[in-house]
Chains A and B, each alone.
Chain A
Amino acid sequence: MLDSMPLKPVHTEAKPCQLHPQSMCPAFGSMRILSRLEGAHPVMATDTGCLYGLTFVTHFYGARKSILAPQLGTAELMAGEVVEGTRAAIEVAAREPGCKLIPVVSLCVAETAGLPEEMLPKRVGNADVVLVRVPAYSIHSHPEAKDVALAALLRRLGDQTGQKEQKTLVLLGEVFPADPLAIDHLLRRMGVKKTITLPGRSIDDLRLAARAGALALLHPFYKETTALFRSWDIPVVGGAPVGVSGSYAWLKAVGSLLGLDPKLVSEVAEEERAKAEAMMAAQPLSGRILVTGYEGSELAYARMLVEAGAEVPYVSTSIGQDPLVLPDELWLRARGTQEVVYRKSLEDDVAALDKYPPDLVLGTTPFCSMAKARGIPAMYFTNQLASRPFFLSVGMAATLGFIRQTLERGERYQWMQDFFAEETSEEAAHA
Chain B
Amino acid sequence: MPKVIRDLSDTSSYWAAVWTLCALPDVHVICDAPIGCFNLVATAVPDYTDAIPHLENITPSVIREEEVGGSGTATAVQRTYENLREAGLLDGKHAIVVSTAESEMIGSDLSDLVRQLQPGTRFFHSESLSEDEWVGRDRVLAWLWENYGSTAATQAEPGLVNIIGPTYGCFNSPADLHEVRRLIEGAGGRINMVFPMEARLADIAKLSKAQVNVVLYHEFGHTLAEALGKPWLHAPMGMSGTTAFIHKLGRLLGTEEQAAAFIKQEKQTTLQAVWDLWRGPQGDWFGTTNVGIVACGTYVDGLRAFLGDELGMPITFSASRPLRSGEMDNEKVRQQLHTAAPAFVFGSINEKIYLSEAGAKYTNFIPAAFPGPIVRRSVGTPFMGYRGAVYVLQEIVNRLYEALFNFLPVDTAYTQVRGSVNGANGTASVSQSDKPGNLPWQAEAKTLLDKALDKLPFLTRISASRELQMQIESLAFAREMVEVTPELVEEELASRFK
| Cβ A69 vs Cβ B8 within 8 A | yes
| Cβ B69 vs Cβ A136 within 8 A | no
Chain B contacts with A in 38-72, Cβ cutoff 8 A: 38-41, 43-45, 47-48, 53-54, 56, 59-60, 62-70
- Let me know if B86 is at the binding interface, CB within 8 A: yes
| Cβ B7 vs Cβ A53 within 8 A | no
- Let me know if A162 is at the binding interface, CB within 8 A: no
| Cβ B6 vs Cβ A52 within 8 A | no
| Cβ B372 vs Cβ A137 within 8 A | no
| Cβ B65 vs Cβ A10 within 8 A | yes
| Cβ A112 vs Cβ B4 within 8 A | no
Residues in A neighbouring B379, C-beta threshold 8 A: none
| Cβ B4 vs Cβ A137 within 8 A | no
- Of chain A, the residue at the smallest CB distance from B136 is A49
Answer whether A138 and B45 are a contact pair too, CB < 8 Å, given A52-B10, A57-B40: no
Answer whether A137 and B65 are a contact pair too, CB < 8 Å, given A19-B83, A48-B132, A49-B15: yes
Question: Per a CB cutoff under 8 Å, which of A19, A66, A69, A112 touches B354?
Answer: A66
| Cβ A85 vs Cβ B2 within 8 A | yes
Question: Per a CB cutoff under 8 Å, which of A17, A53, A137, A138 touches B11?
Answer: A53
- Let me know if B357 is at the binding interface, CB within 8 A: yes
Question: Per a CB cutoff under 8 Å, which of A24, A59, A67, A135 touches B34?
Answer: A135
- Let me know if A163 is at the binding interface, CB within 8 A: no
How far apart are the CA atoms of A137 and B76 in the complex, in Å?
Answer: 13
Residues in A neighbouring B373, C-beta threshold 8 A: 56, 60
| Cβ B371 vs Cβ A55 within 8 A | yes
- Of chain A, the residue at the smallest CB distance from B86 is A16
| Cβ A365 vs Cβ B53 within 8 A | yes
| Cβ A52 vs Cβ B11 within 8 A | yes
Contact string, B198-218, partner A, CB cutoff 8 A, digits 1/0? 000000000000000000000
Question: Per a CB cutoff under 8 Å, which of B10, B64, B87 touches A12?
Answer: B64
> Number of A residues contacting the other chain (C-beta, 8 Å)?
66
| Cβ B39 vs Cβ A51 within 8 A | no
Residues in A neighbouring B130, C-beta threshold 8 A: 73-75
How far apart are the CA atoms of A299 and B222 in the complex, in Å?
Answer: 52
How far apart are the CA atoms of A21 and B58 in the complex, in Å?
Answer: 12
- Let me know if B243 is at the binding interface, CB within 8 A: no
- Let me know if B84 is at the binding interface, CB within 8 A: yes
Residues in A neighbouring B443, C-beta threshold 8 A: none
In angstroms, how far is the closest chain A Cβ from the Cβ of B345?
A: 15
Answer whether A71 and B5 are a contact pair too, CB < 8 Å, given A64-B356, A108-B101, A368-B53: yes
Contact string, A43-82, partner B, CB cutoff 8 A, digits 1/0? 0000111111111110110001111111101111100010
How far apart are the CA atoms of A9 and B54 in the complex, in Å?
Answer: 30
| Cβ B101 vs Cβ A47 within 8 A | yes
How far apart are the CA atoms of A85 and B84 in the complex, in Å?
Answer: 40
Total CB contacts across the A-B interface at under 8 A: 211
| Cβ B65 vs Cβ A8 within 8 A | yes
How far apart are the CA atoms of A26 and B83 in the complex, in Å?
Answer: 24
How far apart are the CA atoms of A56 and B374 in the complex, in Å?
Answer: 12
- Let me know if A263 is at the binding interface, CB within 8 A: no
Which residue of B83, B101, B353 has the most chain A CB atoms within 10 A of its CB atom? B101
| Cβ B2 vs Cβ A19 within 8 A | no
Residues in B neighbouring A113, C-beta threshold 8 A: 105
- Let me know if A312 is at the binding interface, CB within 8 A: no
Question: Per a CB cutoff under 8 Å, which of B2, B106, B498 touches A81?
Answer: B2
How far apart are the CA atoms of A9 and B63 in the complex, in Å?
Answer: 12
| Cβ B353 vs Cβ A59 within 8 A | yes
- Let me know if A386 is at the binding interface, CB within 8 A: no
How far apart are the CA atoms of A71 and B240 in the complex, in Å?
Answer: 40
| Cβ B2 vs Cβ A369 within 8 A | no
Chain A contacts with B in 238-293, Cβ cutoff 8 A: none
- Let me know if B80 is at the binding interface, CB within 8 A: yes
How far apart are the CA atoms of A77 and B128 in the complex, in Å?
Answer: 13
Residues in A neighbouring B494, C-beta threshold 8 A: none
Contact string, B1-35, partner A, CB cutoff 8 A, digits 1/0? 11111111011111100000000000000000011
How far apart are the CA atoms of A136 and B40 in the complex, in Å?
Answer: 12
In angstroms, how far is the closest chain B Cβ from the Cβ of A267?
A: 37
- Of chain A, the residue at the smallest CB distance from B5 is A69
- Let me know if B334 is at the binding interface, CB within 8 A: yes
- Let me know if A89 is at the binding interface, CB within 8 A: yes
Answer whether A19 and B5 are a contact pair too, CB < 8 Å, given A56-B44, A59-B349: no
Residues in A neighbouring B69, C-beta threshold 8 A: 7, 9
Consensus secondary structure, chain A interface: helix
Residues in A neighbouring B2, C-beta threshold 8 A: 70-71, 76, 81, 84-85, 88
| Cβ B34 vs Cβ A108 within 8 A | yes
How far apart are the CA atoms of A123 and B230 in the complex, in Å?
Answer: 60
How far apart are the CA atoms of A138 and B105 in the complex, in Å?
Answer: 16
- Of chain A, the residue at the smallest CB distance from B36 is A25
How far apart are the CA atoms of A109 and B63 in the complex, in Å?
Answer: 12
Residues in B neighbouring A67, C-beta threshold 8 A: 6-7
Question: Per a CB cutoff under 8 Å, which of A48, A84, A107 touches B10?
Answer: A48
Residues in A neighbouring B34, C-beta threshold 8 A: 108, 135-137
Question: Per a CB cutoff under 8 Å, which of A7, A21, A68, A365 touches B65?
Answer: A7
In angstroms, how far is the closest chain A Cβ from the Cβ of B139?
A: 15
| Cβ A140 vs Cβ B35 within 8 A | yes
- Let me know if A125 is at the binding interface, CB within 8 A: no
| Cβ A7 vs Cβ B68 within 8 A | yes
- Let me know if A355 is at the binding interface, CB within 8 A: no
Answer whether A19 and B80 are a contact pair too, CB < 8 Å, given A10-B66, A59-B372, A60-B48: yes
- Let me know if B242 is at the binding interface, CB within 8 A: no
In angstroms, how far is the closest chain A Cβ from the Cβ of B53?
A: 3
- Of chain B, the residue at the smallest CB distance from A8 is B65
Residues in B neighbouring A51, C-beta threshold 8 A: 5, 8
Residues in A neighbouring B102, C-beta threshold 8 A: 47, 108-109, 112, 137
Residues in B neighbouring A68, C-beta threshold 8 A: 4-6
| Cβ B128 vs Cβ A49 within 8 A | yes
- Of chain B, the residue at the smallest CB distance from A63 is B353
| Cβ A48 vs Cβ B83 within 8 A | no
How far apart are the CA atoms of A88 and B11 in the complex, in Å?
Answer: 21
- Let me know if B100 is at the binding interface, CB within 8 A: yes
Residues in B neighbouring A52, C-beta threshold 8 A: 8, 10-12, 15, 371
Residues in A neighbouring B8, C-beta threshold 8 A: 48, 51-52, 55, 69
Residues in A neighbouring B83, C-beta threshold 8 A: 16-17, 19
| Cβ A366 vs Cβ B4 within 8 A | no
Question: Per a CB cutoff under 8 Å, which of B56, B354, B371 touches A56?
Answer: B371
Residues in B neighbouring A430, C-beta threshold 8 A: 56
Question: Per a CB cutoff under 8 Å, which of B11, B45, B64, B101 touches A109?
Answer: B101
Chain A contacts with B in 91-137, Cβ cutoff 8 A: 92, 97, 107-109, 112-113, 135-137
How far apart are the CA atoms of A108 and B33 in the complex, in Å?
Answer: 10
- Of chain A, the residue at the smallest CB distance from B25 is A430
List 9 additional A-B contacts (Cβ < 8 Å) besides A55-B8, A138-B65, A365-B47.
Answer: A8-B65, A10-B65, A23-B39, A25-B35, A47-B102, A49-B13, A66-B350, A76-B3, A365-B54
* Closest 3 pairs between A and B when the two form their complex, measured CB to CB: A25-B36, A53-B40, A369-B53
10 pairs across A/B with beta carbons < 8 Å?
A16-B83, A56-B372, A70-B4, A75-B130, A76-B3, A88-B1, A88-B3, A89-B5, A92-B6, A138-B65
Contact surface of B with A, Cβ cutoff 8 Å: 1-8, 10-15, 34-41, 43-45, 47-48, 53-54, 56, 59-60, 62-70, 80, 83-84, 86-87, 89, 100-102, 105-106, 128-130, 132, 334, 349-350, 353-354, 356-357, 371-373, 498
